[in-house]
Structure 1
Amino acid sequence: MEAIVIEVSSVEAAQCIRDGDTIAITGNGGGMLEADEIFAAIEARFLASGHPRDLTLVHALGVGDADRRGVNRFAHEGMVRRVVGGHWSWSPRMQKLARDNKIEAFTLPSGVISLLMRETGAKRPGLITRVGLNTAYDPRLGGGAANDAAKAARPISEIVTLGGEDYIRYLPIRPDIAIVRGTYCDELGNISCAEEAGDLDAHAVALAARNSGGRVLVQVREKRKSSDCIARLVQVPGVLVDQVVLAPNQPQTHVGGYEPSIAGVPHAAPAPDTKFAGLSLPSGARGIIARRAAGEIRAGQSVNFGFGIPGGIAAVLTAQARLKDIWLTVEQGIHNGQLIDGALFGAAAFPSAIMRSTDQFDFYSGGGVDIAFLGAGEIDAKGNVNVSRLGRDVVGPGGFVDISQGAKSVVFCGTFEASGLSVHASGGRLSIDKDGSIPKFVEDVREVTFCGPSALAKGQSVLYVTERAVFRLTKDGLTLVEVAPGIDAERQVLDRMAFRPQVASDLAAMDARCFVEDFGGDGGASLAKAGGGHA
């Protein structure tokens, strides 16, 4: 077949976008699969001419650097009219537009957005799923409308009943433009992500635009002859691609350059420990929580770690020589490997498999995870958790809802209080140097991202781990089951909560080894066998 790919500059690609277009993008924090050269050209065109304007932007994962790249390129008043995003923290400017009601701000679970792109591309009637029921994404509880402007707009989901059970139908979103990224293309426009840190939802995003009559723009580092390419490494076939922008200086991530180990390249050399966060042990309160949470893991389990404090658990397991005993996944499509924490969360050094994030989310919503470790912003007496609206800003749930509703067991990990908390551990005991100024155990969470009563009804096991106390969700509500050595349960735990939880009759002490940086001469195995200290 003759060459069909059209090579254009980023400036020419930006000219394709019209006022009012719906643009779907792929990418992840830290610069993973971020087509920022195209984004920058679109931004420059808007700043110079005021066009394109009134755009709708759709992104499943957080994209950007909390400064100028990624979604930040679109965060100008008038440039976007509506944003449907899974995670917003990497764009403070877009958060401000949402806060000021300059845009219609919708948040949805990341897996919902990615899978909705796939369903839209297949011309199915949207995504029909249980994910989001009884949370802020349930249309009866707000439907993901995150500000007044969104609440006044047309809903983007509805409840449907099938076989006597309620489901959410997320309505199709038909992109006019898809913007995705790969490592290289061939002369037919086939796109490979062979040297990227993930595949994410690039295929689903391209499919949605192409089959909705839209255009697919792709940024790649280089062009190769098809005779030099491996067909099985193509993530987006050329039949879906309209234009390709060559960006020779395209970095793999915001760290810069290309690191073979995080692309899963065979025989790659290890990356320096200082190059990526998370390859060293967490410390302080974060380390205490990670060590205690790691005690819940059993050999042979399928395990998920979420963003934030849970991201440090993998390093603890590595130090305990236990990482090899589990099957680790994260929502970006990574299986196993040395999980990278911080801004580049979602990548791993030496992964054993890199899948599409759409496939990963199918695995999660189908119940493939034995135990998930996720963050917690607020927790209430019913065991509800909020991570999606903190302070004044829209945050979004990321993959939290998809994962927490499907996992057999969930362990929420977070400090007991926020803002200013300072602690230290010595001799197997914990001391509070300074209390946090923001309570996290509240009467009612501001927004339900995880529904405790629904989890109980499904028979999920739910634990809440902090640096000073551990709680379990029971039929009587939140129950205090462990307290750190050196902590006064009444004064430093119960009196600092907005509600009075149940207290277990066999209230136990958290394992003293959690308060030693290199705890467990047996690699933490005995703590795991003991069920983390409380059966």
Structure 2
Amino acid sequence: MRKNKVITAEEAIALIRNDDVVTTTGFVQSCIPEALHAALERRFVETGAPRGLTLIMTAGAGDSKGLGTGRLHHDGLLSRVIAANFGRMPKVAQAAQENKILGYNLPQGVISQLYRACAAGQPGLFSKVGLKTYVDPRHGGGRVNDVTREDIVKLVEVAGEEWLFYTATKIDVAFIRGTSADPSGNLCMAKEALTLDNLAQAMAARNNGGIVIAQVERIVEQGSIKPKDVRVPGMLVDCVVVAEPEQHRMNYGIMHDAALAGEIRVPVGAMARMPLDARKIIARRAAFELPPNGVVNLGVGAPEGISSIAAEEKVTPYITLTTEAGAVGGVLASGSSFGAATNADCIIDQNQMFDFYDGGGLDMTCLGMAECDGQGNVNTSRFGGRLNGCGGFINISQNARKVIFAGTFTAGGLVTKVEDGKLRILQEGRSRKFVAEVEQNTFSGPFAQERNQPVLYVTERCVFHLTQRGLELIEVAPGIDIGRDILAHMAFTPIIENPITMDLRIFRDEPMELLADLLNLNLCERVSYDAGRNLLFVNLEGWQVRSKGDIEALRQVLETACLKAGQRVNSVVNHDGFRITENLYDDYAEMIEYMMRHHYVTSTRYATSAFLRLKMQEALRKRGLAPHIFERKEDAHAFLDAAERRETTIASAA
């Protein structure tokens, strides 16, 4: 017989026992079952029960001021927390830091995928996510304090490779959330911004003999939800609680936004432009790294601004922006709506998004940074006396094909101003971000180098990139003095070899015409031919190779110029300020080999960067090509002149 599962929040919470393992949904400030959290807090304050709960959650689910999981801070309510984020429940984080509760800080994607393992009755999850970070058992195993002793992360070897095995924790109670439910508990999420892990969490609790409590905003007639709109079937749901509107907000900042829910689409052109401040400078510079036709993830903070820049520069149709919460496409939201997207193409479950990320689907990510050291290690999880947590940072940063870390150069009171296309530091931040050694290793620079992962560090005043020797300063903002404004505020000295000026367009309050750069529409303007000398000059100063598509675009431009010349040509290539993604040197050398075989008599190039010269020499020699790469333009032209004289002498002798 059908059962009416609609009960009050108090009746549902009364089913929770001492020592139960409770999981809850929510992402940052969105999709939080606030009525259930409030009812659990109320029961404990009034009765002292239930006690000793274990809380399992992925992303932070609160406003950092006491709402969401922040309600669960009362002494005795929790005995253990397994979470990706502690920053949105600061009193719970404080209890962990004071050794009052046990605590683990694990990667968000791992916890998300562990729900499925629990649902399937599996003992845990094998993953490479977390290797060489603080989650690795060799560096702490994700334990957040001294009283936490049990190892739930183990280092194992499979087929000669290192893996981490994460132990699954069986779930007794799942708090989930939907928009509508029928009396049998079938749930739809029509007005929700995200679907998150509701289905997997419900299965995990149900298959462990636990209970599933669903918060909704309304009850609809039995059978009125279309089968394909049911995101969690009633067979998994034990209780349905109808929340008051204030406790069923889309997020803490917005009651409801139809565009974020995918109910309507809004004109992108109507969105407000960012003011030209430090945050916009950082977002603009990072946007130059966007891969056309690529898939991109953006983190919270400064990286969020890239979405606005992409819309402002009309780049959005040529990239797919995503969030780990499950939003695909559109313009990513910020602030209290972070994780959702306006005009999204689709919303998928969070665990499925992490499957995609972990498998290498991301072409690029841009993430924030709290601390960075000379080896390129980055800390976002524990700093300044705060236990913040890693969130999805480790999954994303370890598996993206290219990583951009973005943030202000210093923190706490930094004041900047852009005047006449130059950046001025009016007041320096109180805290250094570039430190001698990071407090906790959330991202391993040496591990990234082992895997040839390209990594950039973008600030408002300069840009670094990661090399085998550590961080190298490669770009400096106009108006910035390296000694006064950069080195004086770092605890280590980076490699410095002829850094170039950051693109001047970034510091002008007008469109940058970024789309033309990303699609290489102006690439032909970098190539000129001198018929009198039969010389093809290729000016690649400041140009960037982000993908194989960029190399193919250059080959087409060069081949067109050579065919127009009507004969084999000599070429000189300016590589000053030229940058190429680490794993594309061989593809670039292959393009040069093609041009030598079909169109060039000889070719020479120059670059002031010793590192670039070394890498190009290695790549060219592997293909049996003479490098002919010099430090100065004059040396490159002198080599070409000597080659021409030799040809003339040979021709005369013949």
SS in 2 for 1:262: coil
1:177 aligns with 2:168: no
Q: What does 1:30-429 align with in structure 2 at a 5 Å threshold?
A: 30=29, 32-150=30-148, 153-249=149-245, 250-265=248-263, 267-268=264-265, 280-281=273-274, 283-429=276-422
> How far apart in 2 are the matches of 1:158 and 1:354?
33
SS in 2 for 1:490: helix
Q: Which residue of 1 aligns with 2:499?
A: 507
Change in Cα spacing, 1:168 to 1:415, as seen in structure 2 (3 Å) is same
Write the deviation string for residues 337-386 of structure 1: whole angstroms up to 9, x where unpaired: 12111222101112110000010000000000001100011111111100
C-alpha displacement at 1:279, in angstroms? 5.7
> How far apart in 1 are the matches of 2:19 and 2:453?
44
Q: Which residue of 1 aligns with 2:624?
A: none
SS in 2 for 1:218: strand
> How far apart in 2 are the matches of 1:314 and 1:282?
14
Structure 1 stretch 405-414 or stretch 89-98: which is displaced more? 89-98
Change in Cα spacing, 1:123 to 1:92, as seen in structure 2 (3 Å) is same
> How far apart in 1 are the matches of 2:510 and 2:207?
54
Change in Cα spacing, 1:271 to 1:59, as seen in structure 2 (3 Å) is farther
C-alpha displacement at 1:491, in angstroms? 2.3
> How far apart in 1 are the matches of 2:419 and 2:519?
22
Q: Is the 8 A contact 2:288 2:514 kept in 1?
A: no
Q: Is the 8 A contact 2:5 2:184 kept in 1?
A: no
Q: Is the 8 A contact 2:321 2:331 kept in 1?
A: no
TM-score (norm 2): 0.78
C-alpha displacement at 1:413, in angstroms? 0.2
Structure having the higher Rg:
2
TM-score (norm 1): 0.94
> How far apart in 1 are the matches of 2:578 and 2:98?
46
> How far apart in 2 are the matches of 1:316 and 1:74?
38
1:517 aligns with 2:530: no
Structure 1 unaligned blocks of 5 or more: none
> How far apart in 2 are the matches of 1:50 and 1:482?
58
C-alpha displacement at 1:16, in angstroms? 0.8
Change in Cα spacing, 1:299 to 1:474, as seen in structure 2 (3 Å) is same
Q: Is the 8 A contact 2:253 2:336 kept in 1?
A: no
> How far apart in 2 are the matches of 1:85 and 1:105?
8
1:28 aligns with 2:2: no
- AA aligned to 1:76 is H
SS in 2 for 1:448: coil
Write the deviation string for residues 5-50 of structure 1: whole angstroms up to 9, x where unpaired: 52210011111111111101110122x2211101101100111111
Q: Which structure's residues are more often helix, by fraction? A: 2
> How far apart in 2 are the matches of 1:163 and 1:347?
39
Q: Which residue of 2 aligns with 1:455?
A: 448
Write the deviation string for residues 119-175 of structure 1: whole angstroms up to 9, x where unpaired: 11111120110001110111111111112232xx21211111111111111101111
Q: Which residue of 2 aligns with 1:14?
A: 13
SS in 2 for 1:368: coil
> How far apart in 1 are the matches of 2:217 and 2:284?
41
CA-based RMSD of the aligned residues comes to 1.8
Write the deviation string for residues 289-319 of structure 1: whole angstroms up to 9, x where unpaired: 0010001113211111111110111001111
Q: Which residue of 2 aligns with 1:531?
A: 544
SS in 1 for 2:114: helix
Write the deviation string for residues 486-509 of structure 1: whole angstroms up to 9, x where unpaired: 1111222123211111113x3101
> How far apart in 2 are the matches of 1:184 and 1:195?
9
C-alpha displacement at 1:528, in angstroms? 7.7
Q: Is the 8 A contact 1:192 1:234 kept in 2?
A: yes
C-alpha displacement at 1:524, in angstroms? 5.5
Write the deviation string for residues 501-525 of structure 1: whole angstroms up to 9, x where unpaired: 1113x310111121223341x2453
C-alpha displacement at 1:531, in angstroms? 3.0
Number of equivalenced pairs: 524
Write the deviation string for residues 55-74 of structure 1: whole angstroms up to 9, x where unpaired: 11111011011122111111
- AA aligned to 1:433 is L
Structure 1 stretch 246-255 or stretch 328-337: which is displaced more? 246-255
Structure 2 unaligned blocks of 5 or more: 521-542, 546-576, 580-654
Change in Cα spacing, 1:286 to 1:43, as seen in structure 2 (3 Å) is same
SS in 2 for 1:441: coil
> How far apart in 1 are the matches of 2:134 and 2:206?
31
Q: Which residue of 1 aligns with 2:620?
A: none
SS in 2 for 1:194: coil
> How far apart in 2 are the matches of 1:84 and 1:518?
46
Change in Cα spacing, 1:321 to 1:131, as seen in structure 2 (3 Å) is same
Percent identical residues = 40
C-alpha displacement at 1:219, in angstroms? 0.6
- AA aligned to 1:131 is V
Q: Which residue of 1 aligns with 2:592?
A: none
Q: Which residue of 1 aligns with 2:462?
A: 469
Change in Cα spacing, 1:393 to 1:463, as seen in structure 2 (3 Å) is same
Q: Which residue of 1 aligns with 2:557?
A: none
SS in 2 for 1:148: coil
Looking at both structures, which has the greater relative contact order when contacts are Cα pairs under 8 Å and sequence separation is at least 6? 1
> How far apart in 1 are the matches of 2:100 and 2:275?
39
Q: Is the 8 A contact 2:292 2:518 kept in 1?
A: no
C-alpha displacement at 1:445, in angstroms? 0.7
> How far apart in 2 are the matches of 1:18 and 1:282?
52
> How far apart in 1 are the matches of 2:227 and 2:272?
33
SS in 1 for 2:357: helix
C-alpha displacement at 1:208, in angstroms? 1.2
Q: Which residue of 1 aligns with 2:3?
A: 4
C-alpha displacement at 1:473, in angstroms? 0.4
Write the deviation string for residues 89-120 of structure 1: whole angstroms up to 9, x where unpaired: 22222222222222212111110111011111
Q: Which residue of 2 aligns with 1:432?
A: 425
